[in-house]
């Protein structure tokens, strides 16, 4: 909790608050542009599709990429590691505290963006989307922050680049493959919950039904939480076993 509080305080600066405001306003701006192009309000189904890609996917993904990957690597590179490693639980505290701060910060920004988009009135019956999409935002932040903790500890010098690669290959490429591999992705769970919430399953073509899971919503939520625990456990184990020199050898 101390690490999480410290990391959140580091984010409360004018430049980062300005970036957070831009991120929160981004979904509303895109929806307003889509509404203007169509010449009227978006129907609920189309609005839900756009809102899904804008908030649980784009805003959450970008927010997590800049709040956990480079932060963990920065702490390792700046020498904070030297002081944390000699204390009991310091390694776990560094990772888990940064993960919690990333989840809270990104989640708040995404939820504010979701609220603004719904209240803008550009989606017909948009208020009915607020509850289900809040669940998607929370699950997206929890699962993907844990996923991005892996490249942050495996390749700290290239953490951001590696995390972008993980997002593209694991979440988007593997998540669209109708096989066992997509069961290990957060994106499959989010898509399935979206289809369940919007009751689209009965009208979906058989080809698209392969991209969602048949299990009930509670199983999707449990799967995301289990994946988060597994990813964080692996990351903590790497920190416990790996040697991190305090500085480069000259």
What pLDDT digit, counting tens, does each position of 210-226 carry?
778 888 999 999 999 99
DSSP 135-147: HHHHHHHHHHHHH
Question: Highest-confidence range of 76-85, 148-157, 178-187, by mean pLDDT?
Answer: 148-157
Give residue 250's pLDDT.
36
Residue 103 has pLDDT above 50, yes or no: yes
* pTM for this predicted structure: 0.87
Q: In 131-159, which positions are buried (b, 16+ CB within 10 angstroms) versus exposed (e)?
A: ebbbbbbbbbbbbbbbbbbbbbbebbeeb
18 DSSP 8-state letter: H
Over the stretch 9-56, which tens digit does the pLDDT of each residue have?
888 899 999 999 999 999 999 999 988 888 777 888 888 999 999 999
Q: What value does the mean pLDDT take over residues 227-237? A: 93
Domain assignments of the chain as residue spans, ordered by start: 2-241
89/184: higher pLDDT: 184
């Amino acid at each position: 909790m101390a690490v999480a509080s410290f990391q959140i305080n580091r984010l409360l600066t004018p430049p980062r608050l300005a970036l957070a405001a831009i991120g929160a306003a981004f979904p509303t701006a895109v929806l307003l542009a889509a509404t203007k192009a169509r010449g009227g309000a978006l129907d609920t189904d189309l609005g839900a599709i756009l809102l899904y890609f804008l908030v649980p996917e784009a805003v959450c993904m970008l927010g997590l990429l800049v709040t956990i990957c480079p932060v963990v690597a920065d702490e390792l590179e700046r020498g904070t590691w030297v002081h944390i490693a000699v204390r009991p639980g310091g390694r776990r505290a560094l990772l888990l505290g940064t993960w919690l701060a990333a989840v809270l910060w990104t989640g708040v920004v995404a939820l504010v963006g979701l609220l603004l988009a719904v209240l803008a009135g550009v989606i017909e019956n948009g208020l009915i989307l607020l509850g289900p999409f809040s669940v998607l935002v929370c699950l997206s932040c929890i699962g993907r922050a844990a996923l991005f903790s892996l490249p942050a500890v495996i390749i700290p010098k290239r953490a951001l680049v590696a995390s972008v690669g993980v997002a593209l290959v694991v979440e988007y490429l593997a998540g669209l493959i109708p096989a066992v591999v997509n069961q290990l992705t957060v994106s499959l769970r989010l898509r399935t919950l979206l289809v369940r919430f919007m009751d689209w399953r009965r009208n979906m073509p058989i080809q698209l039904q392969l991209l969602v899971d048949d299990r009930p919503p509670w199983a999707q939520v449990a799967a995301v939480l289990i994946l988060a625990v597994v990813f964080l456990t692996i990351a903590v184990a790497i920190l416990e076993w790996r040697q991190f020199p305090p500085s480069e050898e000259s």
